[in-house]
Amino acid sequence: MSITSDILRGHTEAIILSHLLEQDSYGYQINKDIMKKTDNRCELKEATLYSAFRRLEQAGYICTYWGDETVGARRRYYSITDAGREAYQAYKRDWEEAKFTIDQLLK
Amino acid sequence: MSITSDILRGHTEAIILSHLLEQDSYGYQINKDIMKKTDNRCELKEATLYSAFRRLEQAGYICTYWGDETVGARRRYYSITDAGREAYQAYKRDWEEAKFTIDQLLK
DNA sequence: AAAATATACCTTGACAGACGAGGTATATTG
DNA sequence: CAATATACCTCGTCTGTCAAGGTATATTTT
């Protein structure tokens, strides 16, 4: 059983930011890590992931740089900014409150 | 602080079904009740509510009938069906699992 | 050596749900 | 008699997800 798009929606950016709190990473790796962390219950589709990266960069929550791979495909790394860290905390508060509120309604 | 549309998304139908488990009700009342239950943290906008009613009816999860008001505006009542009750239980399981999964990702 | 798979990036267009803005009608209150 | 509350509804816009497609390099399998 996997999480539906409509429930996932609104959490994508927070999930990415959370991941970048631990360490800089790149698209393909983030994708794999999220699946692994959740035993494949949650998969951010590539198109979803990349559109979220664009929004996060636009908002100044992440910045990017190319890795210096000498072998293999090039990697675009993402790094969380201070504004991103603040945004993450806000997202997290929203989530805690939303959980409470939705629980109130689904009795 | 109120819950964002994107987090709410995917829960609208479940929230309505949950409400109808208690008793038959009509749009305007459901709207007010939800706001009251959540101290105005969650408001289903009218357009959102009515489009959800259409989907739920289409799916056979609710059925409707007109109230027999002798005074005041007419009311269209909604009633949950057996299929609706089952769908609600499925929604609820999804929600419990989604909570767990998202919590895993937002550390 | 060729084919398949894995790693890694990306874009385009369709789709669905939330909602702002608008509309209708009746009853009550100031 | 105007304003507010109750009660219904539709249309069109916006936004995030994702299926489908593309590129390029490295490794593994046949």
Contact of B11 with A7, CB cutoff 8 Å: yes
**Domain ranges (residues) in chain A:** 8-105
Tell which phi-psi region holds residue A31, choosing left (phi > 0), alpha (psi between -120 and 50) or beta.
alpha
| Angle ∠(A33,A34,A36) on CA atoms, nearest 5 | 65
d(CA A96, C1' C13) / Å: 35
Tell which residue, A88, A14, A95, A8, has the closest CA to residue A44: A8
Residues 72-91 of A with CB under 8 A from B: 91
One-letter amino acid for residue A58 of the chain:
Q
Share of chain A above pLDDT 90, in %: 86
Select the more confidently predicted residue: A43 or A20.
Answer: A20
d(CA B75, C1' D13) / Å: 29
Specify the CATH number of the domain B5-105: 1.10.10.10
Q: Give the per-residue pLDDT at B11.
A: 96
Q: Is A10 in contact with B4 (Cβ distance < 8 A)?
A: yes
Instruction: Retrieve residue A15's tokens.
Output: 């999930």
Give the separation between CA B51 and CA B46, rounded to whole angstroms. Answer: 9
Q: Is B91 in contact with A106 (Cβ distance < 8 A)?
A: yes
The residue in chain A having the minimum alpha-carbon distance to the alpha carbon of residue B101 is A38
Q: Give the per-residue pLDDT at A22.
A: 96
Residues of chain B found within 8 Å of residue A48, distances taken between Cβ atoms:
none
Instruction: Retrieve residue B27's tokens.
Output: 């749009």
Task: Judge whether residue A76 contacts strand D, using its CB and a 7 Å cut-off.
Answer: no
Task: Judge whether residue B55 contacts strand C, using its CB and a 7 Å cut-off.
Answer: yes
Q: Does B11 touch chain A (CB under 8 A)?
A: yes
Q: Say what the pTM is.
A: 0.92
Specify the CATH number of the domain A8-105: 1.10.10.10
Dihedral angle, C-alpha A32, B9, B5, A20, nearest 10 °:
-10
Task: Dump pLDDT digits (tens) for B50-98.
Answer: 999 999 999 999 999 999 888 888 999 999 999 999 999 999 999 999 9
Question: How far apart are the CA of A12 and the nearest CA of chain B, in angstroms?
Answer: 10
d(CA A72, C1' C1) / Å: 22
Give exposure, B3-34, as e/b (b: 16+ Cβ within 10 Å): beeebbebbbbbbbbbbbeeebbbbeebbeeb
Residue B1: band (very low, low, confident or very high) from pLDDT cuts 50, 70, 90: low
